[in-house]
Amino acid sequence: MTVLLTNDDGFGAAGLETLIEILSPDHTVYVVAPDKDCSGVSHGFTMTQPLRIKKTGERMFKCSGLPADCTDVGTKRLMDKLPDAVISGINRGGNIGTDILYSGTAAAARQASLHGIPGIAVSLESKTGDWNYGPLAAFVRDNLANLISLCAEDVFVNINARDLPSYKGWRMTVPAKRDYRDSAELWDAPDGHLYSFFKGGTALAPLKADNDYTAVQEGFISVSRVFAQPCSAGGFFDIPDDFFKMP
């Protein structure tokens, strides 16, 4: 198969390099990745300036844009034909539940699915700081065809796991609702400006049998199918015609 690899940690990141190494023997691998760390950029897209792209090797490109840009320019301009899949990761840190909204890793996979290309986001959590991406990369390699089969137009796959030498198995999961306890510091600088600094905190989630958070905490690989398109909250069908005033 032909696959496009990207990420949000940036070109040369260890998780991306592990995927390149483990997928290249059996697949035609293209790489289009940001030239900087783009963690937390969500589905940002560059529209007001050109993208600067540098070819660093055969089918290897470094891009000044964001993860969604990399998916777009890779599939539309840098590849001879559309890939069988876009794989984003392996991210340094989990993208569990509500994290998906903020994740550049997830955005790159989402961008693929919006154009009918299978998109797979892969992320690893670590409690030890060892960041052993090998076992999770092997799972992607060994199950690539099945992972692609779970994708659909406007649906991408989000994979999460802990940094473990082996796993108890895998679970199909739903994204958990996370409760973030983040904060920000404000600094009144001598230059007359106020500066705000993000301070990360704990990110809580309920331990429910069907969610991705629980699966990862219990030593399983979590696989979620996620809608790419916004979904209506509903509940508006019984609103009366005179509910809103017209000017």
CATH of the domain at 36: 3.40.1210.10
Q: Are 209 and 215 contacting, i.e. CB atoms less than 8 angstroms apart?
A: no
**Res 191: pLDDT:** 94
Residue 39 inside a domain? The answer is yes
CA distance 80 to 74: 10
Q: Is 212 annotated as a binding residue?
A: no
For the chain, list residues with pLDDT below 50: none
Burial of 237 by CB count in 10 Å (0-12 exposed, 13-18 middle, 19+ buried)? Answer: exposed
Q: Write phi, then psi, for 15 (nearest 5 degrees).
A: -65, -40
CA distance 221 to 162: 8
Residue 182 inside a domain? The answer is no
Residue 156 inside a domain? The answer is yes
CA distance 133 to 120: 16
Q: CA geometry: angle at 22 spanning 79 and 138, to 5°?
A: 120
**Res 128: pLDDT:** 86
**Res 75: pLDDT:** 98
What is the end-to-end Cα distance of the chain in Å, rounded? 57
Q: Is 126 annotated as a binding residue?
A: no
CA distance 223 to 19: 17
Q: Is 238 annotated as a binding residue?
A: no
Residue 213 inside a domain? The answer is yes
* Alpha-carbon distances of 7 from 15, 71, 117, rounded to whole Å: 9, 9, 16
Q: Which residues of 162-176 are buried (b: 16+ CB within 10 A; e: fewer)?
A: bbbeebeeebebebb
Residue 241 inside a domain? The answer is no
Q: Is 154 annotated as a binding residue?
A: no
Residue 32 inside a domain? The answer is yes
**Res 181: pLDDT:** 83
Q: Which amino acid is at 53?
A: I
Residue 185 inside a domain? The answer is no
**Res 140: pLDDT:** 99
Number of domains in the chain: 1
**Res 237: pLDDT:** 75
**Res 8: pLDDT:** 97
Range of the domain at 12: 2-177+207-227
Residue 78 inside a domain? The answer is yes
**Whole-structure pTM value:** 0.94
